[in-house]
Amino acid sequence: MIKKLFKSIARLAPSRLSIKATRRVKGVPHEPELFKGARLGIDHKLISHAAMRTVQELQKAGFKAYVVGGAVRDLLLGIRPKDFDVATNAEPEQVQRTFRRARIIGRRFRLVHVMFGPETIEVSTFRALQSDDIELDEHGRVLRDNVFGEQHEDATRRDFTVNALYYDPISDQVLDYHHGVKDLKSKLLRMIGNPEHRYREDPVRMLRAVRLAAKLGFEIEGATRRPIKAMADLIHNVPNARLFDEMLKLLHSGNAYEGLRQLRAEGLHHGCLPLLDLVFDHEDPRAVDFVTRALKSTDTRIHEGKPVSPGFLFAALLWSLVDEKWRQRHTQGEHLIPALNAAIDEIIDTQLDALAIQRRYVSDMREIWLMQPRFEKRQAAAVARLMEHVRFKAAYDFLLLRAQSGQCDTALAEWWEAYLQADHAARTELISQANASRTKSGGTKRRRRRKPAAPMPEA
């Protein structure tokens, strides 16, 4: 009991001292609109146990704590959130002391990752609205801001009204400071504050506006959309890692095709996916059809709850460039596989930095590409080795997309489709037919290795 008492005092005392020391300029306080979560359609079954525990433990320790941001937005739309964020008036060190497994991360914004088994809850402290301690770059982008404030200030600091909702799952109460519930019902994406100023603070908000509008089927409010084209170049000032994370979210949104088209329409792709001009304006309609099919296929898989691979997606986006270089080199007399390897190296060298693709995905892309000519070899041993490859399923799906868009022989894709569904006897017959067909069409036979001549007897 005495230990618990001392822990409670230790948690509360630093809070009063450090908030007083770090807070600079308070925003004008205003009361939020209050809604009952059940009346808005929030289903408690969609809330993760880890998020509920995080809120409970912080409230038990004497702090305010709410599920916040995109998780609340998704709950109100009847969507199960992929991850949960929690906002609190407890500072990072106090949050860390409240949980057995928690660690402080971040430099730009200090956050706490609270871990419950495989699930991680990101906990942030309410941010102040203005501060002399905020560090900006020459373009106005926030580099560091760890000044803590009140909840209404934190709500004003958030990007869109639909992301500035706070939900207390214990009392089943939604707090709305900026009419986010109204905008959610109207399917409207509206920036909090002056959009131009907010984009300058963090240019990634422009990407996020496009991504969320495409994902949710929302309209971007006029004043929020208007500055984007003029300010698109600010994307070049964003670190590659943040851009790549945002692009992955867009590609995994379930509306990647529309998202990328909208990204290009707003001119934002120059900062993160400049190759979209090459892809969507390609002179070969089959290349455009291939990318369109790949993106729509990925969207379908996500809606069906199936896994998707970032390596596969980037392999699809870059394939038209690789294929073009491959054909050029092969036409000029290079052998098939060396020509493909050289084409891959050339495209990766020129595109990797521009796309900020993490190198762990590059090996997946390379394997998917290099397996494409191997589908042509339909001898029993070659087929068995190919099917044992860890990327076989991804490469096979890639082959099907190539066939559907007219980039390779549909008969080849049909043969593999039949082979995968056949039993052992039927597979043997399919391989025999493929080899017979290859021989008739003038395919080269494997040369036997000549035995070395016997040594001449000595005289």
The catalytic site residues sit at 83, 85, 159
| Residue 134: its H or E element | none
Q: Determine phi and psi for 34, rounding to 5 degrees.
A: -115, 135
206 Cβ partners below 8 Å, 6+ apart? 199, 228, 231, 232, 234, 235, 266, 268
59 Cβ partners below 8 Å, 6+ apart? 65, 170
Region of residue 25 (phi > 0: left; psi between -120 and 50: alpha; otherwise: beta): beta
Q: Helix crossing, 392-404 with 285-303: angle to 10°?
A: 130
Cβ(427)–Cβ(381) below 8 Å = no
Polymer length of the chain: 459
282 Cβ partners below 8 Å, 6+ apart? 288, 320
Which DSSP symbol is given to 151?
A: H
Q: How far is CA 388 from the centre of its chain?
A: 28
User: How is 1-58 classified by DSSP, letter by letter?
Assistant: -HHHHHHHHHHHHHHHHHHHHH--BPPPP-PPEEEETTTTT--GGGS-HHHHHHHHHH
Q: Which residue has the tokens 């190539």?
A: 402
Structure tokens at 34: 């209050």
As a whole number of angstroms, the distance between CA 416 and CA 402 comes to 13
As a whole number of angstroms, the distance between CA 62 and CA 78 comes to 31
Q: Which residue has the tokens 């905008």?
A: 183
- Residue 122: which of 142, 141, 106 has the closest Cα? 106
Q: Determine phi and psi for 10, rounding to 5 degrees.
A: -65, -35
Structure tokens at 360: 């762990």
As a whole number of angstroms, the distance between CA 99 and CA 121 comes to 12
Structure tokens at 351: 């595109």
Give the pairing of strands 33-36 and 173-176: antiparallel
